[in-house]
Amino acid sequence: MFALYKKEMQSFFYSPFAYVLAALFMFIFSLSFVPSIGSMDSNTLKFSYPNIFYNNFFYFIFLIPILTMRSFSDERKGGTEVLLISSPLSVFKIVMAKFLSIATVFLFMMVVSLFFPIVTMVKGEVMWSSLICAYTGFYLWGLACIAVGMLFSALNDNAIIAAILGEIVMEGFLFLDKFAATELVASYPKLNSVITWFSLQRRFVFFSQGLFRLEDLVYFLSFTAVFLCWIVIAIEKRRWSRS
Record the pTM. 0.88
207 by Cβ neighbours in 10 Å (0-12 / 13-18 / 19+) ranks as: buried
pLDDT (0 to 100) of residue 100: 96
For the chain, the structural domain boundaries read: 2-25+47-242
Residue 206: its pLDDT value, please? 80
Give first-to-last CA distance, the chain, whole Å. 23
Distance CA 145, CA 42 (A): 38
pLDDT of residue 40: 56
> What are the mean pLDDT values of the chain's consecutive 10-residue runs (243 residues total)?
87 89 88 68 56 77 88 80 78 93 94 85 77 88 92 89 89 77 74 76 79 87 95 86 63
Q: What pLDDT was estimated at residue 49?
A: 72
Residues 191 and 185 sit within 8 Å (Cβ to Cβ): yes
pLDDT at 148: 93
Distance CA 199, CA 223 (A): 11
Q: Are the beta carbons of 47 and 208 closer than 8 angstroms?
A: no
Task: Check residue 35 and give its pLDDT.
Answer: 72
Which residues touch 18 (CB under 8 Å, ≥6 apart)? 12, 105, 108, 109
pLDDT at 78: 74
pLDDT of residue 33: 75
